[in-house]
Chain A
């Protein structure tokens, strides 16, 4: 690992100032000053020499000293960004009223990592594309803008089929993000100019011609909380994740679904897809296909077909088109059966 300076931030404002001043012209992932929270992504990528910050600003002092910083009320859920994945996954109100969120966290990473990783950092975890993670691979537009993409014609079994571009097909690896985009979450963000809110759906950027710019955040921006609005669909929600091994593995395909039913008919559906797209992926086409219809195998299959109509598979990942559709169908039918 390259040398870096280690400092502890005494306040959110000080942390933002320290990170903003050093790299306003760069995307946050390339800025010379980086935040350290759980450390599970950044220390890994620094050991791999994929990220090379000159300074780490440790946010440990900003963590609430007591409690899990999770509040649930009639308007919805507020998750402090410093809550760990484990704290959120095991919170009674999350388990009862937002099962999709609890499942998305329980099925991610390992127990040790869930004790370490914070929710804010989890949302900003970076792709597991092996060409991105290996600096010996010279072609990666995300790591080295303009260098090309080794995955396009390389080993791309794990790569995305939705939201891709000719410059990048790296998969967004997270699970929690799929629950948040399905449930219309918003973020509270502290920046060098003060605080603001941002719809979660506006956080991540499609790769396009600039895959190295992954989010709409600026250097110094810090996610401080996540808000999830309440609704009659949150209890009938689930997250289904399909992997190469049963546990401690990233998704090949996943589906986050939340349903509001009226009898057997779908009043409204919220659908997001993981493991198959370059960013957290809301499947509005599937939602439209379900609205007002009885939920059965035929309508679920039609919705899944709509969700993947725009899929652009490469040489090794064409299986994800069918796997993703089957995953969504199963998630929808299982959500229908939930006792809420």
Chain B
């Protein structure tokens, strides 16, 4: 496919190209939704801006759109995965202002000015890996890999929250990320290595 990867292919499909995800030229000061009274509310699309990996995006989305679907279907960042879509598996984990949350149970409209960080925004440079990403490779901390972006986003937050001081603590504070391949021993080992590579921890 002319050197086209699966990811670039997905990003260029017509379904994705037809939706209104427009990078903003300037800042993203506008806020989502309106403050009109409920009696005058309707269920139509609402304008919002999302800052994702430090890039602003102006969007007009159905209020039902979750942050997960906004990222995958409207902004084209498919690294964040949809697993259970009901808050039980952790595959959709992203950071909001540095704190890990589930994007499947977050409405895009409610994100507001908070900074969204996804797996695509974790590395310090386009050709580099975050220490936690490298640690997952070094420890073969996956089999199918579907849960891996969520595992890595959760692992980075687990370390920065100060809850990765022992293997037991890692297991407890990573319990929101399910790996159906059961690569858990490798994931714990990867986090212990990744922790050592994260500055200030």
Contact = CB atoms under 8 A, between A and B. Distances in A.
Are A and B co-members of a single complex? yes
Max chain A Cβ within 10 angstroms of own Cβ: one of B100, B106, B174: B100
A60 B102 contact: no
Interface in B34-90: 34-39, 41-43, 46, 62-64, 66, 85-87, 90
Contacts of A110: 90, 175-177
B92 to A, nearest CB: 9
Contacts of B63: 3-6, 56
A76 to B, nearest CB: 27
A296 B193 CA distance: 45
B157 interface: yes
Nearest to B114: A60
B175 A47 contact: no
A48 B104 CA distance: 13
Given A39-B106, A48-B86, A111-B163, A247 B37 contact: no
B105 A43 contact: yes
Contacts of B93: 112
Contacts, number: 120
A113 B42 contact: no
B172 interface: yes
B32 interface: yes
B138 interface: no
Interface string B167-185: 0000111111100000000
Contacts of A39: 105-107, 110
Interface stretch (A7-15, A154-162, A234-242): A7-15
Nearest to A115: B99
B37 A18 contact: yes
B112 interface: yes
Given A5-B42, A40-B87, A116 B37 contact: no
A111 B162 CA distance: 12
B120 interface: no
A64 interface: no
B176 A44 contact: no
Contact of A116 (B86, B101, B161, B163): B101
B19 to A, nearest CB: 18
A246 B171 CA distance: 10
B100 A33 contact: no
Contact of A115 (B33, B100, B112): B100
A66 to B, nearest CB: 13
Interface in A117-131: none
Nearest to B41: A5
A18 B102 contact: no
B35 A111 contact: no
Contacts of A36: 107, 110
Nearest to B95: A115
B187 interface: no
Contacts of A112: 87, 90, 93, 100-102, 154, 176
A6 B154 CA distance: 29
A22 interface: yes
A21 B41 CA distance: 14
A55 interface: yes
Contact of A33 (B38, B43, B46, B105): B38
Given A44-B86, A112-B90, A112-B154, A55 B41 contact: yes
Interface in A228-261: 246-248
B7 to A, nearest CB: 25
A114 to B, nearest CB: 9
A54 B93 CA distance: 28
6 contacts: A4-B63, A7-B35, A8-B32, A43-B66, A110-B175, A111-B158
Return the 5 tightest CB-CB contacts between A and B, nearest first.
A110-B176, A5-B41, A247-B175, A6-B63, A3-B43
Given A3-B64, A55-B41, 12 more contacts: A3-B62, A4-B63, A4-B64, A9-B35, A18-B39, A22-B38, A40-B87, A56-B63, A58-B107, A112-B93, A116-B101, A116-B102
Interface of B: 31-39, 41-43, 46, 62-64, 66, 85-87, 90, 93, 99-102, 105-107, 109-110, 112, 154, 157-158, 161, 163, 171-177
